[in-house]
Chains A and B, each alone.
Chain A
Amino acid sequence: MNGPHDLGGQQGFGPIAPERNEPVFHAEWEKRALGITLSCGAFGAWTLDESRHARECLPPATYLSASYYEIWTRALEQLLKRHDFVTQAELDAGRSLYRGREPKNVLKAEMVAGVLARGGPCDRPVGTPPRFAVGERVRTKNFNPETHTRLPRYARARAGVVEAVQGSFVFPDDNAHGKGENPQWVYTVVFDGPEIWGEGGDPTLTVSIDAWESYLERA
Chain B
Amino acid sequence: MSEHRHGNGPEHDHPHDNHFTDMEARVKALESLLTEKGLIDPAAIDAIVETYENKVGPRNGARVVARAWADASFAEWLRRDATAAIASLGFTGRQGEHMRAVFNTPETHNLVVCTLCSCYPWAVLGLPPVWYKAPSYRSRAVIDPRGVLAEFGLDLAADKKVRVWDSTAELRYLVVPERPDGTEGISEEALADLVTRDSMIGTGLALSPGAVR
Contacts and interface: CB of A to CB of B under 8 A. Distances in A.
Contacts of A100: 37
Contacts of B133: 68
Contact of B170 (A11, A38, A122): A122
| Those 4 A-B pairs whose CB atoms lie nearest each other, nearest first | A35-B45, A94-B29, A8-B115, A210-B169
Given A13-B136, A36-B31, A116-B94, A22 B130 contact: yes
Contacts of B100: 166
Contacts of A7: 115-116, 135, 138-139
A29 B24 contact: yes
A117 B93 contact: yes
Contacts of A159: none
B31 A16 contact: no
A86 interface: yes
B145 A24 contact: no
Interface string B159-188: 111111111111100000000000000000
B169 A17 contact: no
A58 interface: no
A118 B163 CA distance: 31
Contacts of B141: 8
B167 to A, nearest CB: 7
Interface in B25-42: 26-34, 36-41
Contacts of A91: 29-30, 33
B97 interface: yes
Contact of B32 (A11, A95, A166): A95
Interface stretch (B1-9, B10-18, B69-77, B146-154): B146-154
B43 A108 contact: yes
Contacts of A152: 115-116, 166, 168
Contacts of B95: 119
A186 B203 CA distance: 26
B95 to A, nearest CB: 7
A81 to B, nearest CB: 12
A170 B144 CA distance: 31
Contacts of B46: 35, 109
A105 to B, nearest CB: 10
B54 to A, nearest CB: 9
A43 interface: yes
B138 to A, nearest CB: 4
